[in-house]
Amino acid sequence: MDHQPKFFENLSGAGKAIGVLTSGGDAQGMNAAVRAVVRMGIYVNAKVYFIYEGYQGMVDGGDNIVEVSWESVSSILQVGGTVIGSARCKPFRTREGRLQAAFNLVQRGITNLCVIGGDGSLTGANLFREEWSGLLEELAQKGKIDAEAVKKYAYLNIVGMVGSIDNDFCGTDMTIGTDSALHRIIEVVDAIMTTAQSHQRTFVLEVMGRHCGYLALVSALACGADWVFIPEYPPEEGWEDSMCVKLSENRARKKRLNIIIVAEGAIDCHNKPITSEKVKDLVVQRLGFDTRVTILGHVQRGGTPSAFDRILASRMGVEAVLALLEATPDTPACVVSLSGNQAVRLPLMECVQMTQEVQKAMDEGRFLEAVRLRGRSFENNLNTYKLLSHKKPDSELPKTNFNVAVLNVGAPAAGMNAAVRAAVRVGMTEGHKIFAVIDGFEGFARGKIKEISWGDVGGWTGQGGSILGTKRTLPAKYLEKIADQMRTNNINALMVIGGFEAYLGLLELSAAREKYDEFCVPMVMVPATVSNNVPGSDFSIGADTALNTITDTCDRIKQSASGTKRRVFIIETMGGYCGYLANMGALAAGADAAYIFEEQFDIRELQANVEHLTEKMKTSIQRGLVLRNENCNENYTTDFIYQLYSEEGKGVFDCRKNVLGHMQQGGAPSPFDRNFGTKISAKAMQWISKKLKETYRKGKVFANTDDSVCLLGMRRRNLVFQPVAELKSETDFIHRIPKEQWWLKLRPLMKILAKYKTSYDVSDSGQLEHVAMLPKEAETGAI
């Protein structure tokens, strides 16, 4: 960025009072948002008040509106639901109720509100803001407040954060709670799959989403469901026949189970409800399959928030406080939201209007319009699902006579199998023959290569590790053998799914093009590594699953000390030299410090951290958490830090250490990794098809330009193809990390939430955008 960084030190909250409330249905991650608002508010010297029980508490006043301190939000990060309560409130819908609420706020000098809830709660907040000056005048006329107060508290500023598991709010890629709800659904689906497999059963799963099919659609994509019913995209006339044909075809292909997912608001094209019972009865009557219904219900709202939701809510909470500090009487009420991987501010009413437009389109039967209004992420999910779930008959598929090889390279990462499945199925739909290479470049050289079909990759999305097998070996020492194999099998394009070794491998293969014509074919890399250290991409497949493992483990470790004396845990994470897991794990687990290679530290800083923790432990806080990346410093090892903290903390706290190790690479992939892997891989295969057409000359494929060897990465708001040759200048090859990493900007966030004074660059925030301006083409850092 060329512009001068802008720091928020100039923004002071002195003299301001912020009220925070959660309203409407609860969602996991609301507490993380509340915690971030409170701590950021206190950090900028504002007073912060809890408003208990949503708008009901605002109307009732009294003990429902309480000033809070730093410690008030300690240990709530990992708790689901909302600790300040939420209630549906009829009185607030009346002017009388809002008058009482205004009186209660003015009494405490609160003129800044941070509302965490769904579109109903946010619309209510906006109405309250518009009526504010009228309400104060009425209170003055009734003699409840004086003229001075009317002048002093003349304006009410409102910032919203969307907390809703349905992800039904337009303008934001992901609402707080959606990712956690997907975790609950996927846990259930994974468990059901094993029992369904045993008995050759069909399961009909009903998930939440009265007006929005996001949860149903994404969970169908993440588990490879046979059929999905959502309100925005009703099935065509005669769907009963098509569905039954599809289910029986799958059984004929030796598939032992069928999964059908139904959103609770699913409808047919005549706006008549499609219920899970109706679907079950249909399958039993027409096919005689043993069929069961499972309604997930409120399980989806429960449980601990996922790492994604904690980080999202923490980022949004801090952004909300900044928005309140910068608000003027002319600023419209805004929502802080996520677009791609970036925090944005959007006018609240524009978002609400667009959300209502979707419902209107559905009511009027304009379903294609409804899908478009839901936004690019939703549309993309739907198109990808349609592409991957229904195999066209061979007679309808194009025949390109191209052979594409798919391989995994590097260490295993959860989500690799979902990426392979998507590549195979999209490749076949495009008319190519797909070859699977076993055991990376080493297996390639040994001829471990076989054609793979649509059915071979069924059920792969939920499998952890790498089914194809993966090795870290680079191709340089096998170039001749790999070229032979490519010639023998007539391979016209390569898709490599892997980490830093995959990137190095593609660089080596493109350098060998001068010597071997066989490598003059389109090659694409899809980043998959828990370390998230691949240049050219903000995210890698597998990093989210590893982050959730770290977060869950930290929660358990913290809990292990409850009831004992004060204790600090030193936890070592993976990542090579890349501090992504340590830094983001620290943000998601509420750690006090995270030591990483990218931010050099010395003994003075270690000393300051120990003193800071010692001071904290003298208050009501009982547990401390310190994360350390495995290679952050060769001398300040995990043992050294553990011994230092043990010595310096004597008499105040004791210490324990944990090395998390390879558990970070294992486990079933998270919903994010399944979907990110599926969508990015499908896009990569479509790029291969395009390149094959462009480079096919005189009966053969010949591609020798830089732009025919690309890495597909997520950059801020877009998925972009970047020639690997151009990424060389962005790479630190010695430490195997990108020279610039976006998440380093979030480091101050972690420090602020852990009570350190620091500077936070807010150059990226502060611009109010318009909903329609969000780039339509962009792909999302959300799923």
Tens digit of pLDDT for each residue in 471-485? 999 999 999 999 999
With contact defined as beta carbons under 8 Å apart, do 546 and 664 qualify? Answer: yes
**pLDDT value at residue 9:** 57
**pLDDT value at residue 701:** 93
For 496, the enclosing helix (H) or strand (E) is strand 493-498
Supply the mean pLDDT for the chain: 92
Phi, psi of 348, rounded to the nearest 5 degrees: -55, -45
**pLDDT value at residue 782:** 46
Place of tokens 């493992």: 549
Residue 781 has pLDDT above 60, yes or no: no
CA nearest neighbour of 325 among 9, 31, 105: 9
Mean pLDDT to the nearest integer, 209-233: 95
* Banded model confidence at residue 776, pLDDT cuts 50, 70, 90: very low
* Banded model confidence at residue 764, pLDDT cuts 50, 70, 90: low
With contact defined as beta carbons under 8 Å apart, do 726 and 715 qualify? Answer: no
Tens digit of pLDDT for each residue in 72-106? 999 899 999 999 999 889 999 999 999 999 999 99
Top-confidence range, 430-444, 561-575, 765-779: 430-444
* Cα gap 242→415, rounded to integer Å: 30
Higher-confidence residue of 60 and 651: namely 60
* Banded model confidence at residue 762, pLDDT cuts 50, 70, 90: low
Helix (H, G, I), strand (E, B) or coil at 441: helix
Strand order from edge to edge, sheet including 342-347: 65-67, 47-51, 17-22, 112-117, 157-162, 334-339, 342-347
Question: Exposed, middle or buried by CB within 10 Å (0-12, 13-18, 19+), for 396?
Answer: exposed
Question: Exposed, middle or buried by CB within 10 Å (0-12, 13-18, 19+), for 544?
Answer: buried
Q: Check 166, 226, 439, 673 and give the catalytic one.
A: 166
**pLDDT value at residue 8:** 56
For residue 166, indicate whether it is catalytic.
Answer: yes
Place of tokens 């949004």: 316
* Cα gap 648→643, rounded to integer Å: 9
Tens digit of pLDDT for each residue in 247-289? 998 888 878 889 999 999 999 999 999 999 999 999 999 999 9
Q: pTM to 2 decimals?
A: 0.94
With contact defined as beta carbons under 8 Å apart, do 764 and 342 qualify? Answer: yes
Q: What are the distances in angstroms from CA 20 to CA 106, 332, 715?
A: 15, 18, 33
**pLDDT value at residue 760:** 65
% of the chain residues with pLDDT over 90:
82
Tens digit of pLDDT for each residue in 312-363? 999 999 999 999 999 998 889 999 988 777 888 999 999 999 999 999 999 9
Which three-class secondary structure string do you get for 123-146? HHHHHHHHHHHHHHHHHHHCCCCC
